[in-house]
Amino acid sequence: MTLLVTGIGELTTHDDEEPRDGPFAVVVDGDRVAWTGRARAAPACDTAVDVGGRAVLPGWVDSHTHLVFAGDRGEEFARRVAGRPYTAGGIRTTVDATRAAPDADLAARLRRHVAEAARQGTTCLETKTGYGLTVADEARAARIAAGEVDEVTFLGAHLTPAGTTTEDYLDLVCGPMLDAVAGDVGWIDVFCEDGAFDGDAAARVLAAGAARGLGGRVHGNQLGPGPGVAVAVAAGAASVDHATHLTDADVEALAGSDTVATLLPACDLSTGQPPPPARRLVDAGATVALASNANPGSCYTTSVALGVALAVLQAGLSVPEAVRAATLGGARALRRDDVGHLRVGARADLHVLDAPTVVHLAQRPGVPLTAAVWRAGVRVPADAPLSEEVHP
């Protein structure tokens, strides 16, 4: 079956030879992009949809989420924004709730969040373990995630759980826990920050993952300067995520490497951090991705469009640069060539905006601008599935 999506007012394919005068059209054959160009030159197809002058871009590639969890941290968030101190350890609250939840509950919540993201234009999504922190609970999270999302990352090294030492826990993470998850994940990640794991520990985790064929990712430089970027680059990690507090040496190292700087501006906003140094990174020649960091604690949003708006309004990117980072940049951060663009052969992940140009993404922040989404050639439901329960 071929589908003609035509009447496109502005088409972003990330092809170097994009035609300039619209309207444009895209031909989808099965799950792939088969043709793009000016609408009047489009070949005949089995079916056609006219999008009425709307902008079309690749679906968002959200390369950083934490969506295998249970529980709700609304009260903690309310205390935080009210300026009142709280003592409960944030991640630990989610760990306790996640361990206590049945498999079906975790899977249903994950599916609901993935669907929520898809309705906002996210068509390729990575998610992580990291709220289990025992061999059995991390293995369970990896198995559940593998059934629901495009890319799964093992984040056993999220923090050292109560009742053990960092050294003992690292032995577990790099040994039996890694063995238990390896069949369900493609990536290994480590939270390299004061209060979590130091540079040596992060390097050890990445090396253990690499020995099992897993690609590397690092949470680094989120709350202050630190060794995260240097460790990620030295290990050839695909991405260092957050990257909010960077030295000139960090920026240079990223620019001279294949390690993507994955910026999470919605998280920086939510946690009171400064905006990420997106402009410096792009000017230096580093590859930048934008992702949501959707998680129940520090940043409970699945909106990549919010990150695009913030990257433009607060971090100095142009709209095309921000759009590129949230599509092609995310694909680079996941080392994928099939998503994040709409060149011929790409997975047919189309995001139709209820706007004539992508400029509206930053000009109209907070407005739901997703008009239609196809993922691998299949239309994503536009409305929330109200038949499914909302988990408190």
Closer residue to Zn ion (CB): 98 or 293: 293
Neighbour-count burial of 102, counting CB atoms closer than 10 A to its CB (0-12 exposed, 13-18 middle, 19+ buried):
exposed
**How far is the C-alpha of 77 from the C-alpha of 298, rounded, in Å?**
8
Print the SS3 string covering 64-114: CECCCCCCCCHHHHHHHHCCCCCCCCHHHHHHHHHHHCCHHHHHHHHHHHH
Q: At its nearest, how many Å lie between Zn ion and the CB of residue 91?
A: 10
**How far is the C-alpha of 142 from the C-alpha of 157, rounded, in Å?**
14
Closer residue to Zn ion (CB): 56 or 304: 304
DSSP-derived secondary structure for 193-213: STTSB-HHHHHHHHHHHHHTT
Two structure tokens written together for 141 = 């999270």
Closer residue to Zn ion (CB): 178 or 192: 192
Nearest to 94 by CA among 140, 161, 43: 161
Q: At its nearest, how many Å lie between Zn ion and the CB of residue 174?
A: 20
**Strand, helix or coil at 380?**
coil
Q: What phi and psi, each to the nearest 5 degrees, are found at residue 215?
A: -75, 160
Closer residue to Zn ion (CB): 193 or 250: 193
Q: At its nearest, how many Å lie between Zn ion and the CB of residue 307?
A: 13
Q: What phi and psi, each to the nearest 5 degrees, are found at residue 190?
A: -145, 140
**How far is the C-alpha of 145 from the C-alpha of 75, rounded, in Å?**
27
Q: What angle do CA 318, 217, 76 make, to 5 degrees?
A: 80
Q: At its nearest, how many Å lie between Zn ion and the CB of residue 135?
A: 21
Closer residue to Zn ion (CB): 120 or 262: 262
Near Zn ion in 255-294, by CB under 5 A: 293
> Nearest residue by C-beta to Zn ion?
293
Two structure tokens written together for 1 = 């079956």
Q: Are 250 and 226 in contact (CB under 8 A)?
A: no
Q: How many chain residues bind Zn ion (CB under 5 A)?
A: 1
Q: At its nearest, how many Å lie between Zn ion and the CB of residue 361?
A: 23
Q: What phi and psi, each to the nearest 5 degrees, are found at residue 331?
A: -65, -40
**How far is the C-alpha of 178 from the C-alpha of 190, rounded, in Å?**
13
Closer residue to Zn ion (CB): 91 or 346: 91
Near Zn ion in 142-171, by CB under 5 A: none
Q: At its nearest, how many Å lie between Zn ion and the CB of residue 289?
A: 13
Closer residue to Zn ion (CB): 123 or 129: 129
Q: At its nearest, how many Å lie between Zn ion and the CB of residue 30?
A: 34
Q: At its nearest, how many Å lie between Zn ion and the CB of residue 67?
A: 11
Closer residue to Zn ion (CB): 222 or 370: 222
Displacement of CA 34 from its chain's centroid (Å): 26
Near Zn ion in 291-330, by CB under 5 A: 293
Closer residue to Zn ion (CB): 120 or 293: 293
Q: At its nearest, how many Å lie between Zn ion and the CB of residue 62?
A: 12
**Strand, helix or coil at 2?**
strand
Instruction: Collect contacts of 382-391 with beta carbons under 8 A, ≥24 apart.
Output: 382/119, 383/119, 384/115, 384/116, 384/119, 385/112, 385/115, 388/108, 388/112, 389/108, 390/112, 391/70, 391/72, 391/105, 391/108, 391/109, 391/112
Other C-beta atoms within 10 Å of 236: how many? 13
Closer residue to Zn ion (CB): 12 or 262: 262
Q: At its nearest, how many Å lie between Zn ion and the CB of residue 170?
A: 19
Q: At its nearest, how many Å lie between Zn ion and the CB of residue 243?
A: 12
Closer residue to Zn ion (CB): 244 or 293: 293
Q: Which residues bind Zn ion (CB under 5 A)?
A: 293
